Copies of this chain bind each other. A is one copy, B any other.
Amino acid sequence: DFMNALDEVHPAFGVSEEELQQVIQNGIIHFDVVVDELLRSGELLVEQVRTSTRTPLVSVLLYGPPGVGKTALSASIAQASEFPFIKLISPDSMVGFSESQKVAAITKVFADSYKSPLSVIVVDNIERLIDWTPMGARFSNAVLQTLLVLFGRRPPKRPILEDIGFSETFDSELRMPPITTLRALEFVLREVELFKTSEERKQAIKSLEDAGFKFQIGIKKLLSMIEMARQEPDNVVQRLVGALMGLGM
């Protein structure tokens, strides 16, 4: 009976805390008001799933340039829902899978979710899930079609947070922008404690401001640059400013 069935899929159930934790490894830095707005929108959508009788399935597209934090933010919203079923579907756990193994793995997560009263599924990095490559516009049509059907299906309640760049039919869409202001940049620098003193930090920002520096950078790349700069303690400001300037805008 149903209870037994639940037991059977048990290992697939529950919240995959570890996986979610890993993609938010560096935390969420509130460098801009847009970060808070996105988190709030996510919260409302989760609420809609919990309460609306007409829309048990709500799909959301979270998009934006590479490295702006799509994966981390989606995972964050999912985690905050505290739903009994939260899962991350990501190409990382499917390396070396055949097309049909991927289809089966994805289908299984959705099938399992139907057994939970409330569930969130984060489908991350769809471009890699469907083996997309612009060379010859190749991709796995089988995986793509599976996702399209699953996104439109409406059995039990379940919001879907997606992080893709080319789909188009979602109930709602959220855009995650890159960092473009020195204020946000300074916020991040302070948060990660790159500089020993705040004078140093302000000086770095100042020199970028004086140079009339215009930029656009994802939080992911920014964090990576900061760690490289950290390697030469005597030279941090120069390394960081040089790397940022090298972005070429």
Contacts and interface: CB of A to CB of B under 8 A. Distances in A.
A212 to B, nearest CB: 25
Contacts of A44: 228, 231-232
Contact of A228 (B48, B92, B149, B231): B48
Contacts of A153: 92, 95
B47 A231 contact: yes
A153 B48 CA distance: 33
Interface in A1-56: 22, 25-26, 44-45, 47-48, 51-52, 54-55
Interface residues of A, number: 55
A2 to B, nearest CB: 16
A66 B148 CA distance: 14
Interface of A: 22, 25-26, 44-45, 47-48, 51-52, 54-55, 58, 66, 91-92, 95-96, 98, 100, 103-104, 107, 110, 128, 131, 133, 135-139, 141-142, 144-146, 148-150, 152-154, 169, 171-172, 192, 221, 223-224, 226-228, 230-232
Nearest to A54: B227
- A contact patch SS: helix
Contacts of A142: 131
Contacts of A137: 135-136
A64 to B, nearest CB: 15
A77 to B, nearest CB: 15
Given A44-B232, A131-B142, A224-B171, A149 B92 contact: yes
Nearest to A108: B96
